[in-house]
Amino acid sequence: MTTTDAKTQIEETVKGNDVVLYMKGTKTMPQCGFSSRVAGVLNYMGVEYTDVNVLADDGIRQGIKDYSEWPTIPQLYVKGEFVGGCDIITEMTLSGELDQLFEQNGVSYDKQAAEKIREANG
């Protein structure tokens, strides 16, 4: 896959889905701890999202880093906008910012689950 093809495919995926997680592995079988943590938060909060396994395609693996100008995986996108990686998503979950982001963008999630994550980590 060429760089242009990867960029086009990434753009279509990011803009065509409300929530996208570029990760190592899949949402049901993450292949790294950081991907597992972010997928775990989204799964627990009941967020519908598209997972893209960067290990399945080197073009996408490099392409997503170029696309976001962010050097690491996982990467979360909401409504076409890059939100962040594992540390940022963890902080946003604990501060309640992720809830606000989902609410502002009309993404449904389980508010009680989000509260439970904060209680467990508070």
Assigned token pair, 19: 């929530």
Residue 18 confidence (pLDDT) above 70: yes
Q: Which residues contact 120 (CB under 8 A, 6 or more apart)?
A: none
Average pLDDT on 13-21 reads 98
- pLDDT band for position 11 (cuts 50, 70, 90): very high
Entry field: residues in the chain: 122
Domain ranges of the chain: 3-121
3-class secondary structure, 18: coil
**For residue 1, pLDDT beyond 70:** no
Binding-site residues from annotation for [2Fe-2S] cluster:
32
8 Å CB contact between 56 and 22: no
Residue 74 Ramachandran class (φ > 0 left, ψ -120 to 50 alpha, else beta):
beta
Q: What is the pTM of this model?
A: 0.95
Question: Known binding site: residues?
Answer: 32
Tell me the per-residue pLDDT of 41-71, one tens digit each, with 9 for 90 and over.
999 999 999 999 999 999 999 999 999 999 9
CATH classification code of 3-121? 3.40.30.10
Query: Positive or negative, the Cα torsion across 13, 75, 105, 113?
Result: positive
